[in-house]
Chain A
C-alpha cells in the first residue's frame, strides 16, 4: 500500500514540474522520430535555448498525418505555438484549416536552396528528400534504372507502404501518377504482382520485412543508404534514381494563429534556416538541409541528386480519394 502511495506522489510531483515555466516556453508539436534521442530534436533544443535563453518544449505524435489531425481537433485551444513536420501532401489541408499564420520572412527563395520554387505564404521548409526504392547491393545485383523497367522487366519482391496510412506510401501513389497519368491503374496492376507486402508505415516495411531479407526492395528515401554508412559502417545498401525522376518530399513548419508567443515563434522559424539548425539535419533526420551548409557529411556528397518530380498540393488534395480507389481496384 505504501509503495502505491509513494508511486502516486511521484507521478503528481512529476506532472507539476513538467508544467512549470509556461510563459517563457515555446511549444512545438512534431512527429516522434524528430525528437527521439537519435533525431535532431535534442540538439535543436539545446542550440535554441542557448541562443535565445528561452525554453523549448516538444510535444509529439507518431506521424506527420496525425500531427495535423491533432491540431485540427484541438482547434484554437491548442497549446502549440509551432507545428513542425508537415509535408507537401498535407499542405492544402493545412492551409484550409485556417489555423496558421502568415510567416514574416521575406524573399524566402533567396535564402533557401530547394530544387523547386517555394510558394507557400504560411509555411517554411526545413528539410527535403526524395522517395526511392532501396535494395541490398550484395544480394540484388541487377536493379532497374527506371520506373518503367521496374514495372515491366525487373523480377523482384517489393515491399511498399499503404498510401492511406503513410507518407512514403502516398508519395509512391503520386509518383506513379506523375509518370503514368491516366495509365496509372495499369501500371499498378503490373507492379502489384511484384509487391509482396503493403505495410501500415515505414517501420514495418524497412525493419521487419526488408532488413529481414524478406523483400529485395523497399520504398524509402534516396538518403537511406547514408544511415547505413554512418551508423553501421555498411555500404551494402543503395537507392535507385529513376530515369523519370524521383518524387520529392519537403517538410515544413508553421506558426499557429492561436499562439501567445508569436515573436518567439518567428525567431524560431528564422533560427530554423540558420546553420545552427540546418547542419544537424543531415546526420540526424537523414534528409537534405534547405540551405547550403559548410559541414555537409562526406557521404552526402557522394549521392547523386535525382530529378525532382512533384504534383501541386491542391491537385493531390482533390484527387487523393480517387487515386486511392484506383490503387485499390488494381490490387
Chain B
C-alpha cells in the first residue's frame, strides 16, 4: 500500500518536473563549443561569483542574526507578544519581493526614513544604497525572520526533563546554552543555511533592482534574458544546468544533515526557562527582541503606515477592477494552499515511513526539492511549449498557474513538517506496531499533534501565493487579473497613489490571513493548557 503510494507520488512529481524539460529540449540544438565560450567569458564567471557571494553572505548573516533572536524569544516564550512576533517572523518571509525592494529603498535609502532622521549617508560618506549592501539588507529582511522562526521551533522541542536536569545540576547560563540549546539549534542550522542560500541564489528582481548595475547580477537574470529576449534556449539550458548543480550540492548536503540529526523526544510541556528572570538577561533579551523586531519588521511597518496615509486621502476599495483582481488572487491562493498542505503531508509521511530505506527516501527528497532549484522561468516556458494547443483553454491555464505555485512551495512544507513527523513517528512507532494500527488510522490519531504545522503550512502558502508576483507572463490573459498584476499595471500607467494602495492592501490582507490561521485556529496549544 505504502509502496504503491510512494511510486504514485514519485511519478507525479517526476512528470511535473520532466514535462517542461521535454518542452524545452524539443526547441534546442546543443553544441558543446558553447560551453567553452561560456566559461571563457569573464562576465559570466563574475556573475557566478557574485551569485555565490551574495547568497553565501545573505545566508550566513541571516543565520547569525537568527540565533540570538531565537534564543531571546525562546527564554520568554510564554509571553503573548512573543507568540505574535514568532507569527510575524513567518510572515516576513512571504513578503512579495517588489514590496521588499520598495520598503528597503523607502527606509534605508538616501531619501529614506532612517537617513532623514540621522543623516548617516553624510556621516559615513556613503554615496548610494545600491550594490551588495542593498541586496544583503533585502535578503536578510526576508530570510532572517524565517530562520528565527525555524530555530525557535527547534528550541521548542527541548524536552521538559532536560530543563529539570539543568535545574538540578545548577548549570549556569552559558553551560545551559552550550550543552542544551546549541546542540538543538545545530540540528537544523545547516539545512536552514542551505535553503536560504538557494533562495538568495535564485533571487531575481531584488538583486537586479538593488544590485546597482550589471556587475552585481545573478545567473537568474542571464537565464531570463536568454529565454525571453534572445530565444536562445541553449544558453538558458546551460545556465540553468550550472545553477541547478550548485544548488543541488547544497541541498543534498542540507537535507542530508536534516536527516542525520539527533532525535529528541517531543514534549511541548509548559515550563519556565531557568534564566528568564535573571535581571541582566532579561534586560538583554528585551533589548534584543525590541531592536531586532524593529529592524526585521521595518518593511511591514513601513508599508502599513503608507497605506493608512493613502486611505485617509482617498478610498479605492470599491473599484471594479480591484474587486475582480482580489477575487482571483483569493481563489488562486486558496487552491494553492490547500494543495500544498495536502501534498506536503503525503510526501512527509512517505519520507518518514521510508526512513529505513535511505535510497528511496533520498530520491523522493531530492525530486520534491529539485523543483525549487530549477528556474521558474524555465519551468513556465517549458509548460508553455509542451502544452501546445491546450494552452488556450483557460481552465488549464488556471491549473498550470496553481501547479507552478505549488511546486515551489512544497519543499517548504516538507521542511516545516518533516522533523515534527519524524519525532512523532519515532515516539509512537512501538505503540503503532503493538496495536497494529493501520497507516490511515495512525495519521488520524496523530493528527492533533501535527494540526498546528498543517495550519501553518496552509497560512504560509496562502499568504505567499496571494502576494505572488511570479504569475507567469506566458499564461496571462486580459480577463485574468490578480492583485500583483494590477499593481504592476498601475505603476506602468503612472498611477502611483493607487499602486501604493494596492501594495498596502495586498500586504495587510495576506498578513491578516496569515495571522488568523497561525494564531487563532489552534487553541489546543499545550502552552496554554496548563
Contact = CB atoms under 8 A, between A and B. Distances in A.
Interface of A: 4, 7, 10-12, 14-15, 18-19, 32-33, 35-39, 41, 57-63, 65-66, 69-70, 72-73, 77, 79, 157, 162, 164-165, 192, 195-200, 202-204, 206-209, 211-214, 224, 227-228, 231-232, 284, 286, 325, 327-329, 331
Given A32-B476, A38-B490, A208-B101, A213 B394 contact: no
Contact of A214 (B128, B231, B489): B128
Interface stretch (B141-149, B206-214, B362-370, B427-435): B206-214
Contact of A66 (B221, B331, B335, B473): B473
B229 A65 contact: yes
Contacts of A66: 228-229, 473-474
Interface of B: 27, 43, 98, 101-102, 105-106, 109-112, 127-130, 204-205, 208-215, 221, 224-225, 227-229, 231, 321, 331, 334-335, 338, 384-385, 388-389, 392-395, 398, 473-474, 476-479, 485, 488-497, 499
Contact of B213 (A69, A164, A208, A331): A331
B331 A19 contact: no
A157 B110 CA distance: 11
Contacts of B477: 59-60
B214 A331 contact: yes
Contacts of B214: 162, 164, 198, 327-328, 331
A57 B38 CA distance: 42
A197 B212 contact: yes
Contacts of B496: 207, 211, 232
Most buried by B among A4, A39, A206, A212: A212
Contacts, number: 173
A35 B499 CA distance: 17
Nearest to B477: A59
Contact of B109 (A14, A199, A204, A214): A214
Given A39-B493, A70-B474, A77 B388 contact: yes
B473 A77 contact: no
Contacts of B335: 7
B489 A38 contact: yes
A199 B394 CA distance: 32
Given A19-B393, A207-B496, A213-B110, A69 B229 contact: yes
A94 B130 CA distance: 36
B395 A77 contact: no
User: 8 closest pairs, A vs B, by CB?
Assistant: A213-B111, A36-B489, A38-B493, A227-B494, A33-B492, A15-B394, A196-B128, A62-B473
A30 B229 CA distance: 16
B153 to A, nearest CB: 30
B209 A33 contact: no
Contact of A165 (B127, B224, B231, B478): B224
Majority-rule SS of B interface residues:
helix
Majority-rule SS of A interface residues:
helix
A157 B128 CA distance: 8
Nearest to B134: A197
Most buried by A among B208, B215, B338: B208
Given A32-B485, A196-B128, A212-B106, A203 B491 contact: yes
A69 B381 CA distance: 10
Contacts of A157: 110, 127-128
Most buried by A among B98, B392, B492: B492
A232 B313 CA distance: 13
Contact of A197 (B213, B331, B389): B213
Contacts of A325: 43
A11 B335 CA distance: 12
Given A59-B477, A60-B478, A198 B212 contact: yes
B331 A33 contact: no
A99 B491 CA distance: 32
B135 to A, nearest CB: 11
B385 to A, nearest CB: 6
B205 A72 contact: no
Contacts of B229: 65-66, 69, 164-165
A214 B110 contact: yes
B393 to A, nearest CB: 7
Given A33-B493, A198-B212, A204 B101 contact: yes
B473 A208 contact: no
Contacts of A63: 473
Nearest to A159: B130
B479 A18 contact: yes
Given A15-B395, A162-B208, A214 B490 contact: no
Contacts of A199: 208-209
A224 B215 CA distance: 29
A164 B474 contact: no
Nearest to B396: A15
10 contacts: A11-B331, A11-B398, A18-B394, A19-B392, A38-B490, A59-B476, A62-B476, A66-B228, A198-B211, A328-B214
Nearest to B475: A61
A197 B210 contact: yes
Most buried by A among B129, B394, B489: B489
Given A36-B493, A196-B129, A224-B494, 5 more contacts: A19-B392, A157-B127, A196-B212, A207-B499, A212-B112
Contacts of A14: 394
Contact of B394 (A19, A72, A331): A19
A164 B217 CA distance: 12
Contacts of A228: 494
Nearest to B476: A60
B213 A79 contact: no
Contact of A200 (B209, B213, B394, B491): B209
Contacts of B479: 18
Contacts of A15: 393-395, 398
A61 B474 contact: yes
A33 B101 CA distance: 21
A284 to B, nearest CB: 8
